[in-house]
Amino acid sequence: MKKEREHVIKTVEPGSIAEELELAPGDVLVSVNGQPVRDVLDYHYLINEEYLELLVRKPDGEEWELEIEKEYEDDLGIEFENGLMDDYRSCSNKCIFCFIDQLPEGMRDTLYFKDDDSRLSFLQGNYVTLTNMSDEDVERIITYHLEPINISFHTMNPELRCRMLHNRFAGEALKKADRFFEAGVAMNGQIVLCKGINDGRELEASIEKLSGYLPYLQSVSVVPVGLTSHREGLYPLEPFTKEDARGVLELIHRWQEKLYREHGTHFIHAGDEWYLLAEQEIPEAESYDGYLQLENGVGMVRLFREEIREELEKLRTPENPKKQNEPEKAGTPEYRNMPQASKEPRLVTIATGKLAAPILREAAEQIEEQVPEIRVQVIGIENRFFGERITVAGLLTGQDLKEQLSGRNLGEELLLTENMFRDGEDVFLDDMTAAELSGALQVPITIVKSDGKAFLEAVLGRGKDEQPERTGTGRRGKQPYEHRP
């Protein structure tokens, strides 16, 4: 058991302090300044100091005592085999909307693990309910001033929160947010909205109470509950309609206007899904207060559109200038790297979820208009694995892609966003690999980062070195699914 909790170094960043000290994968960090390191919270706090004494054990058992002088808060450049440097803590809630409870049987075991670990809030931006956070955890976060901490509030009604999380301590756990507020620890919040439960007046009351945590609670997102077709025996939840979405947006916009007048921040933000469901225009960039909730699906569409617009500006040609700008000189790198005219245009296919398909088609049309040598086919894939109500790209499976793309002319490449794949690998949720899908469809697959520049580069067939690696070789990006406790 003791050996399993040793802090074994996995990677050393090139050019880092750790590399200069000749630390290497397989070394074990024993202590910092004479203190044992319990977990990642201890580690990040202890290494902030300008003077450090590290005790490191090499694979052959030899121990090194290292003295380090550095700038305050400079990182050492070490990644450990266990990112938390401790056991992962599972969730003790039984949320009525839990996505993991809606997974079909027969998937890999790791997909059924429910985490609610406060340490993942700092490492990966995960949201935690506070119900699984001990008083010691709270004190350490305050003492170490680790921030921001991301909190799943869902409702500020203690009794309703107990029912939603199916945990009799869930209402009392909200008092931990009071302690963070009193200590000046930055927070972000989220509300997973369930029709007829925590919407309407309950949502209004929650927003009012949460605004009392300003300025330390920096932002709160409101996202619709995700409902799969595998809800047998679970709490009966209904999907939101277009009219429902418009009502949610009206409430949120009203509070944004009030809070912006009073505090200079919009504070409460609607996930992009609400606007697409309501068939309303996505707000301008200024409404997102710096995109604090981007990873929660808030502002992604607006940011993507802005990035596409900016990148297309760089591709202006003297033959097709933007009216509001002077044309670039033909000798710039942008010109030299553009696809040259040929007998047949370059055809690429983008497969995505039903939700994002209209947004990507819009971007594709803009690219085709400016770059005639390019043809872009955008195909919205129906999620048959989880059910048609699930429309996001990150929950698509390899088998749905294979079934719905087989027999179609996909052109030179099939482009897939990185959030369809398991973190660090080219594996879909159903364990099909990108290489297997590529072989079945007989087309090369390029995995693309989720930003406008990467999207345009991939469509143009440029920037391969900046993209995640090609089929079957690994990639960078966020886990495509997350339990929202």
**CATH number of domain containing 31:** 2.30.42.10
Q: Which residues contact 394 (CB under 8 A, 6 or more apart)?
A: 353, 417, 419, 420, 480, 481
Summarised one tens digit per residue, pLDDT across range 248-302 is 999 999 999 999 999 999 999 999 999 999 999 999 999 999 999 998 899 999 9
Residue 286 lies in a domain: yes
Output the average pLDDT for the chain: 86
Q: Token pair of 329, please?
A: 């000189």
Report the domain count for the chain.
3
Residue 311 lies in a domain: no
Question: Measured between alpha carbons, how far is 397 from 443 in angstroms, rounded to an integer?
Answer: 17
Instruction: Looking at the structure, tell me whether residues 226 and 156 fall in a common domain.
Output: yes
Residues 121 and 24 reside in one and the same domain: no
Residue 471 lies in a domain: no
Tens digits of residue pLDDT in 198-211: 999 999 999 999 99
Would you say residue 2 has pLDDT above 90? no
Q: Which backbone phi and psi does 378 adopt, to 5 degrees?
A: -105, 125
The answer as to whether 92 is a domain residue is: no
Q: Which residues contact 322 (CB under 8 A, 6 or more apart)?
A: 313, 316
Q: Let me know the angle formed at the C-alpha of 468 by 465 and 472, rounded to the nearest 5 degrees.
A: 115
Do 340 and 262 fall within a single domain?
no
329 CB-side CA count, 13 A: 3
Q: Is residue 87 part of a domain?
A: no
Is the model more confident about 40 or about 54?
54
27: Cβ contacts below 8 Å, ≥ 6 apart = 8, 9, 56, 57, 58, 59
Average pLDDT over residues 227-243: 94
Here the CATH number for the domain that contains residue 150 is 3.80.30.10
Backbone angles phi, psi at 10, to 5 degrees: -95, -50
Quick check: is 38 in a domain?
yes
- What confidence score (pLDDT) does residue 160 get? 98
158 and 236 share one domain: yes
Residues 345 and 445 in one domain: yes
Amino acid 410: pLDDT:
97
Average pLDDT over residues 106-128: 65
Where residue 420 sits, what CATH number does that domain have? 3.40.50
Tell me the C-alpha distance between 371 and 44, whole Å.
48
Same domain, 56 and 138: no
Residue 473 belongs to a domain: no
Which tens digit of pLDDT belongs to each residue from 42-100? 888 888 889 999 999 999 999 999 999 999 888 899 998 887 667 666 677 889 999 88
Q: In whole angstroms, give the CA distance from residue 206 to residue 276.
A: 24
Residues 53/59/60/61 CA torsion (nearest 10 deg): 40
Residues 138 and 264 in one domain: yes
Query: Taking a C-beta distance cutoff of 8 angstroms, is the pair 87, 161 a contact?
Result: no
Residue 137: per-residue pLDDT? 87
- Residues sharing a CB contact under 8 Å with residue 342, sequence separation 6 or more, in sequence order: 373
281 and 133 in one domain?
A: yes
Does residue 100 or residue 423 have the better pLDDT? 100
Which structural domain range is residue 220 located in? Answer: 100-298
* Residues 321-345: tens digit of each pLDDT: 543 333 333 333 443 344 444 458 8
Q: What value does the mean pLDDT take over residues 434-449?
A: 96
- Greater confidence (474 vs 379) lies with 379
Which of 80, 115, 142 delimits the end of a domain?
80
Say if 242 falls within a structural domain. yes
pLDDT of amino acid 89: 66
Q: Are residues 71 and 139 in the same domain?
A: no
Q: Which amino acid is at 126?
A: N
Residues 164 and 289 in one domain: yes
The set of long-range contacts for 311-314, using a CB threshold of 8 Å and a minimum separation of 24, is 311/452, 311/453, 311/456, 312/366, 312/367, 312/370, 312/456
Per-residue pLDDT at 72:
86
Higher pLDDT, 125 or 433: 433
Q: Does 181 lie in the same domain as 39? A: no
Residues whose CB falls within 8 Å of the CB of residue 328, separated by 6 or more in sequence, listed in order: 314, 316, 317, 318, 334, 335
Residues 133 and 278 in one domain: yes
